[in-house]
Amino acid sequence: PAIVAERTELGHWEADTVVGLRNGKEAVVLTLIERVTDHYLAIHIPGKTSVAVMNAMRQLYSEYGNQFSTIFKTITTDNGSEFEDFADVQQWGTKVFFAHPYSSWERAINERHNGLLRRYIPKGTSIERYTPEEVKGFADEINALPRKRLGYRTPDDLFEDFLDSIYAA
C-alpha cells in the first residue's frame, strides 16, 4: 500500500533471513525491521525453514499478544521457501506482502540493516557459533546507534515511544 512506501505510519515491517554457511543445514537469523523507526529485530532460528520462521513469529505474537496487529500492521518478505507459510501471520490481523522475485530493493531498509548485522556475523561464518542472546545483543547494538534520518535519535528510543503510545491507549 502507498502508506507503507511513504514511511509515515508506524507498524510496517520488512523481513528476511541472514544465512551463515550456505549448506542449508544450520541456524540462520530471521530479521525484521520497522520502516519508520528503523527498529531491528534479529532472531536466531534453527534453520532456514518455514517451520522455524513460523515458530519465531509465534514467539513474537505471544510477546505482543493482543497488540500484535497494531505493532505489526504489515510485513513484507521476499519469496524464499522459508516464508512459504508466512501468510498464516494474517490470522493475527497483520497483512502480509511478498516482494517481487529478485527485487531486494523493495525491502531496501532490511537489506541495509542486514549489512550492519554482517559487522558482527561476517558472510561465510557459521551462525551456529552465536547464541540467540548474542544475536539479540547485536540487534540491540544496532538499535542503539543514532541515525541522521531519525533526527539523531536511536531506533530504540523511537520504538519505545511507539510502544508507549500503543499500551497507553
108-163: pLDDT as tens digits: 788 889 999 999 999 989 999 999 999 999 999 999 999 999 999 999 999 999 99
pLDDT for res 102: 62
60 vs 40: CA distance, rounded Å? 13
pLDDT for res 105: 57
Please report the DSSP string for 90-120 in residue order: GGGT-EEEEPPTT-GGGGHHHHHHHHHHTTT
Top pLDDT among 59 and 21 is at 59
**Range scoring the smallest mean pLDDT among 2-11, 13-22, 51-60:** 2-11
Find all residues with CB under 8 Å of 140, minimum gap 6, and list them.
156
93 vs 98: CA distance, rounded Å? 16
Sign, Cα dihedral of 142, 148, 150, 152: positive
Find all residues with CB under 8 Å of 40, minimum gap 6, and list them.
31, 32, 33, 113, 116, 117, 139, 142, 143, 155
pLDDT for res 83: 94
pLDDT for res 6: 81
Average pLDDT over residues 68-84: 93
89-112: pLDDT as tens digits: 999 999 999 886 666 656 678 888
Could you confirm whether domain 2-159 is CATH 3.30.420.10? yes
3-state secondary structure of 145: coil
Closest to 90 measured CA to CA, from 73, 106, 77: 73
